Amino acid sequence: MALFSSSLCSNLSLTRLCGLRTNTITNGIYFPYVSSQSRFPLCRHYSSSKVRRGIGQYVVSKVQSVNAKYEEFLKRRFPRFYQLYHTFMEGFKLLLQDAKDVQRIKTKMFSDGVQLKDLPYRELEKLRQFRRDIMKAIPLVAISIPPFANYLVFVLMYFFPRQLLVPYFWTPKQQVEFRALYHSNRVRQHRPVLKGLENTSQQVKDGQLQSGLKDLCAKVQRGANPKVSEILAVRTLFSGPPLGINRMSVDQMRHVSPLLFLTPRLPGFLMGRRLNSHTMELLLLDRALSRMGPHQLSDSELRQACYVRGLHSNSLGINQCREWLSQWLQLSSSLKDSEVSLLLHCIVFLSANYPNGASRH
């Protein structure tokens, strides 16, 4: 009798797993066991959901076991390849987690009617960084989807990590190395930006503004750190012609685009739109950070905030980073939306000589 009950339960479970209904004729097969479950209480312990759950748990445990053995093999026999593998897997997890966070933020914005400018600093920063990273990560993720294609990804990670990968997939050593390299590329634009401002100053008819802009550029070129008041004294030049975000020359746009890690190899109207979008985003971040209070940033968040705004923070102490960010926010909080071009040029004004440049009056 027990044997019959077990057989019956197996048939019932198999029937339900296959999507067939009991006590019906399907493809010429009749299943008369619709009321048998009440006669055999043992069947209640073998519901189809429990069977599926058991099979799923078994498969997952097997996959985890095989994966653990595979990682141990790589770690023992191919340590350098294991580091790439581990970096990729951990980076992929972080990417998926950030994608969930971004979806949650956007859902909140849609359901609660929250505008971008009203988001907290950390949520706004996550949206900004994720958007920049995902555009570069999409091709890599697409390549890794087919079976065994992740090995090709590992090869690309090994030979072209900076060009093809986003920070999710960089090792800690690469994080430091690549940030320094990107910053050096940004620093190379400091002199062309200042030269462009000097040339543009010839178009300024107001003698006081023209003199103020020339003195500001000369001070930075001499290796000094200008004061916030000196920068704000020429703010009106950056709200319209000749230095407004949509009014500056194409050559000047090409000089300032790399300051935000944007390509200068675009038509002028596209560069202007991208500069306006990214600089306005930076201004919104500054306002959100001022509302939150920069003192609430962790050390890593503080360094990241300084780096985004033009300072190579890895080579500085935490107190120096806090001092510089405070100065930046003091200037940023005084600007209107129409003056975002000045915020863009402050990447040069405030960071070019910090902290070694002395303030010269």
Digits of tens for pLDDT over the chain (361 positions)? 333 333 333 343 333 333 333 343 333 333 344 444 444 444 444 456 666 677 777 776 766 777 677 677 767 777 877 777 788 888 889 989 999 999 999 999 999 999 999 999 999 999 999 998 888 878 777 777 777 666 777 777 778 888 888 888 888 888 999 999 999 999 999 999 999 999 999 999 999 999 999 999 999 999 999 999 999 999 999 998 899 998 999 999 999 999 999 999 999 999 999 999 999 999 999 999 999 999 999 999 999 999 999 999 988 999 999 999 999 999 999 999 999 999 999 999 999 999 987 554 3
CA 140 to chain centre: 15
**What is the number of other CB atoms lying within 10 angstroms of the CB of residue 59?**
10
Residue 306 belongs to some domain of the structure:
yes
Q: Mark whether 127 and 267 lie in a shared domain.
A: no
Q: Mark whether 274 and 191 lie in a shared domain.
A: yes
Q: Mark whether 213 and 329 lie in a shared domain.
A: yes
Please choose, from the candidates 329, 349, 63, the residue with its C-alpha nearest in 3D space to the C-alpha of residue 216.
349
The two three-digit tokens of residue 215, written as one number? 């003195």
* DSSP helix/strand/coil, 30: strand
Q: Mark whether 144 and 205 lie in a shared domain.
A: no
pLDDT value at position 276?
Answer: 95
Q: Mark whether 155 and 214 lie in a shared domain.
A: no
Residue 211 belongs to some domain of the structure:
yes
Residue 180 belongs to some domain of the structure:
no
Q: Mark whether 108 and 215 lie in a shared domain.
A: no
**What is the number of other CB atoms lying within 10 angstroms of the CB of residue 120?**
14
pLDDT value at position 74?
Answer: 67
Residue 265 belongs to some domain of the structure:
yes
Residue 235 belongs to some domain of the structure:
yes
Q: Report the alpha-carbon distance of residue 87 to residue 260 in Å, rounded.
A: 27
pLDDT value at position 100?
Answer: 96
Q: Mark whether 15 and 163 lie in a shared domain.
A: no
Give the 3-state DSSP-derived string for 236-264, with helices as H, strands as E and coil as C. HHHCCCCCCCCCCCHHHHHHHHHHHCCCC
Residue 356 belongs to some domain of the structure:
no
Please choose, from the candidates 69, 17, 74, the residue with its C-alpha nearest in 3D space to the C-alpha of residue 47.
17
pLDDT value at position 65?
Answer: 75
What are the CA-CA distances from residue 191 to residues 179, 208, 225 (Å)?
Answer: 20, 23, 15
Full residue range of the structural domain in which residue 39 is found: 2-46
E strands in 1-146: 25-26, 29-30
- Residue 117 is classified by DSSP as G
How many structural domains compose the chain? 3
pLDDT value at position 51?
Answer: 63
Residue 56 belongs to some domain of the structure:
no
Residue 79 belongs to some domain of the structure:
no
pLDDT value at position 84?
Answer: 77
CA 105 to chain centre: 14
Domain boundary among 145, 170, 195: 170
pLDDT value at position 48?
Answer: 66
Q: Mark whether 295 and 206 lie in a shared domain.
A: yes
Q: Mark whether 254 and 342 lie in a shared domain.
A: yes
Please choose, from the candidates 34, 40, 9, the residue with its C-alpha nearest in 3D space to the C-alpha of residue 22.
34
Cβ pair 226, 219 in contact under 8 A: yes
Q: Mark whether 131 and 217 lie in a shared domain.
A: no
Cβ pair 21, 30 in contact under 8 A: no
Q: Mark whether 304 and 207 lie in a shared domain.
A: yes
Q: Mark whether 216 and 143 lie in a shared domain.
A: no
